[in-house]
Amino acid sequence: MAQTILKVGNFPLPDELFVELRKRADFYDENTLSATERLETRANTDIVLGSGGTVFQEADFATCPRLKGIVCYSVGYDGIDVAAAVKRNIFVTYAPDTLNDEVANTAMMLLLCCTRQAKEAQEYIEQGKWLHGPAYPLTTSIDGKKMGIAGLGRIGKAIATRAKAFNMEVGYYGRQQQAEVTYPYFASLKDLAAWCDVLMLVMPASAENTHCVNAEVLAALGSQGFVINVGRGSLIDTEALITALETGQIAGAGLDVFEHEPEVPAALQHLPNVALLPHLGSATVETRARMTKLVLRNVDAQLQGKPVITPVPGTRKQ
């Protein structure tokens, strides 16, 4: 009997991954099914294919009595109820180490776009202002500045390596100090913000982290400080950020993620001291190819009754 893989969530799937999954099992995209078809398909689903934006909670597990595992085409799994999966002995996999460097590159690009005012400088040319002068105003260097990284995991460490290459000092904040890390550790996000010139956010979404960058933290960052977010949009209190940018309480912001994406507040779109990206962090051909290979390895392991390659910590391997 053929096994069934069900794609849950609204995310693009590379043609190669689609073709390969169809070779391995009966494959369905829930977005193409009627409500009745969804229930019928879920009842026969063995593997759910999800992403960072997929929501799969307690009630969803109840609709999938045959479910053996959830394979995430992403590093994030914020919307997956991992505790419910563990309770049912269902594995959950993710795609660690496939996109660390690309997200780190994106973080540095956002930082440079903010500090060197890339968007504004291009508009200066497009509007013909360079032809008549005066010269474009001086911008800010990151050389010798301090970067405070909130979330020194794999991606955070890749960003730190790049920051050091730009001759920046690095400090970090996290749930606990890492014994093997020599960068200075700060026990609170506010203390980190007060120390640094650039507050780099790389933390995952959680109830504890929601709006952890609030008005108080932004005030500590100060009028010469920049905040860059390549973690999750919910980390920042968006209204507090807009106020801080509009009043000059901070110097600028670079954002790849948003609290209610793809919706982006108009105020952010029109501010001159903001660099925005539509969640491009890891969106390169090369990164997606690595993620595709890892997803297929995890799917193949399950179909062959072998331990999965990259289980989410705390979930089963086989």
The residues annotated as belonging to the active site are 232, 261, 279
Cα separation of 70 and 5, whole Å? 9
The span from the CA of 19 to the CA of 297, in Å, is 15
Structure tokens at 74: 């992403």
**Host H or E run for residue 170:** strand 169-173
Query: Who contacts 167 (Cβ-Cβ below 8 Å, separation ≥6)?
Result: 143, 144
For residue 127 the two structure tokens come to 């509007």
How far, in Å, CA of 202 to CA of 116, rounded? 22
Report the run of H or E that residue 4 belongs to, with start and end. strand 4-7
Alpha carbons within 13 angstroms on the beta-carbon side of residue 251 total 21
Alpha helices in 28-152 (DSSP H): 35-43, 58-62, 82-87, 100-115, 118-126, 129-132
Residue 184 preceded by cis peptide, ω within 30: no
For tokens 């609204």, the residue is 10
